[in-house]
Amino acid sequence: MSERLKLEEQYRHAQKMEAVGQLAGGLAHDFNNILQGILSYAQIMLDDEHTSGSAREGLLEIKRSAQRAGDLTRQLLTFSRRQIMQPKALDLNEVVDGIARMLTRLLGEQYRVEWIPGKGLHSVFADPGMVEQALMNLGINGRDAMPEGGTLTIETDNVQLDLDYCENHIWAKPGRFVLLSVTDTGQGMDEETRTHIFEPFFTTKAVGKGTGLGLATVYGIVQQHEGMIEVYSEPGHGTTFKIYFPECHPEGVAELGSTIQEVAVQGGSETILLAEDNALVRKLGQDVLQGVGYRVLSAADGQQACKLFEQHRDEICLVILDVVMPRLSGPKILGRIREMAPDVPFLFTSGYGERTVKTQFVHDEGLHMLQKPYAPQRLLLLVRQLLDGDA
């Protein structure tokens, strides 16, 4: 009976985390629309040669504050599994080795970092930057749990989870994994704390001492890699976090994402259809594009976008679409316009991450995507590349 209750509790916790993730992702998406206007208009004014003195300093502070807010929304997107990933076949030992050395310098003399690399470790398909971030967050969490000093132990190993294990752990799935474990000798946690530690903004620290996003970010990174995370802890006996990354199968592994070189931005005189339901972001797009010579036809909803394209199909050279639109969604607009003009290039914008857009909204590997908030120069660069056929 107690085993069944334990499984039911694990299931309820998984449902709660999924619901919190959906909420966090939605909030981050909406907040990114607001940040887009703040960040871009601040940059436009900074680029004006007449902006100087205290006005310039104030704008720089606005820009810095908006960028910090953008960092928080990216953490929320990571928690909700909606952040952009650039995974590749990875030797986890190489990543951990660098971070372990960094933690040794960062934590201070009263802490000892013990690094035990697994032998013959299999590769994982992961984003190295995200793995580094997760490990750093766990290291900092371990330090905070040991205010008087202690030992932080990091280990890797190849493991296989069988059906018997998975039957008793509802979060687990059978298969071969690479295990990354981080153990501290700190204060430990009671059961109540353990059930909340991965929730955004939950923290046991004093007010102003932490955002409560460190472990939530770790959770999101693990989920986005289709991995699993488990925590063992008791008051007075320290804490162990175990992360299971799926073993990498080299065949069929492809890099996601692409790097666009930052070059001098050029404008043009082409006609562009811009569909964006957020009035601030729509006006911003118009101002940026018209400022370098483009003709812009703007639409506030999907039906209006299709109507404008039908009226001006011989003039429009590029379509910029927000993914989530009223009356007709971005993907449906894409389908209708491609029936009229199969070769016209598209650029999608969204407050969600690229991977979420490709898996949940637009199932098109040739999709060109710009995540909000973006710099005006980034928009102009992508627009020019798409118009020139270089993207």
Q: DSSP for 33-54, please give it.
A: HHHHHHHHHHHHHHHSTT--HH
Between CA 26 and CA 316 the distance in angstroms is 32
For range 45-65, the mean pLDDT = 84
Cα separation of 79 and 236, whole Å?
A: 29
The pLDDT of residue 168 is 74
Range 34-38 contact pairs with CB under 8 angstroms and sequence separation of 24 or more: 34/280, 35/66, 35/69, 35/70, 35/73, 35/372, 35/373, 36/280, 36/281, 36/284, 36/372, 36/373, 36/374, 37/280, 37/281, 37/284, 38/62, 38/66, 38/373
Q: Is the pTM of this model over 0.85?
A: no
Residues 6+ apart with CB under 8 A from 328: 301, 302, 303, 305, 306, 336
Enter the DSSP assignment of 155. Answer: E
In tens, the pLDDT along 99-141 reads 898 888 888 889 999 999 999 999 998 888 788 888 988 998 8
Q: What does each C-alpha distance from 141 to 158, 198, 199, 229, 317 come to in angstroms?
A: 25, 12, 14, 15, 51
Q: Which amino acid is at 121?
A: L
Reported confidence tier of residue 146, pLDDT bands at 50, 70, 90: very high
Is the pLDDT score of 274 beyond 80?
Answer: yes
What pLDDT does 224 receive? 78
Torsion sign, CA atoms 136, 137, 141, 144: positive
Q: What is the pLDDT of residues 202-237, one digit of tens each?
A: 565 543 444 456 787 788 888 878 888 989 988 888
What pLDDT score does 318 carry? Answer: 95
Question: When comparing pLDDT for 133 and 320, which is higher?
Answer: 320
Question: pLDDT-derived band of residue 241, with 50, 70 and 90 as boundaries?
Answer: very high
Could you give the angle at which helices 279-290 and 376-388 cross, rounded to 10 degrees?
A: 60
- Section 257-261 average pLDDT: 35
Distance CA 39, CA 374 (A): 8
Antiparallel, parallel or unpaired: β 316-322 and 175-184: unpaired
DSSP 72: H
Cα–Cα distance list, 95 to 76, 120, 134, 138, 269 (Å): 24, 15, 11, 14, 47
pLDDT for the residue 104: 87
When the pLDDT of each residue in the chain is averaged and rounded to a whole number, the result is 78
DSSP state of 26: H
Is the CB of residue 270 less than 8 Å from the CB of residue 211? no
Number of helices (H), then strands (E), belonging to the chain: the values are: 12, 12
Q: Which two tokens stand for residue 387?
A: 């118009």
Domains in the chain, CATH or no CATH each: 2-79 (1.10.287), 88-246 (3.30.565.10), 271-388 (3.40.50.2300)
The span from the CA of 364 to the CA of 345, in Å, is 13
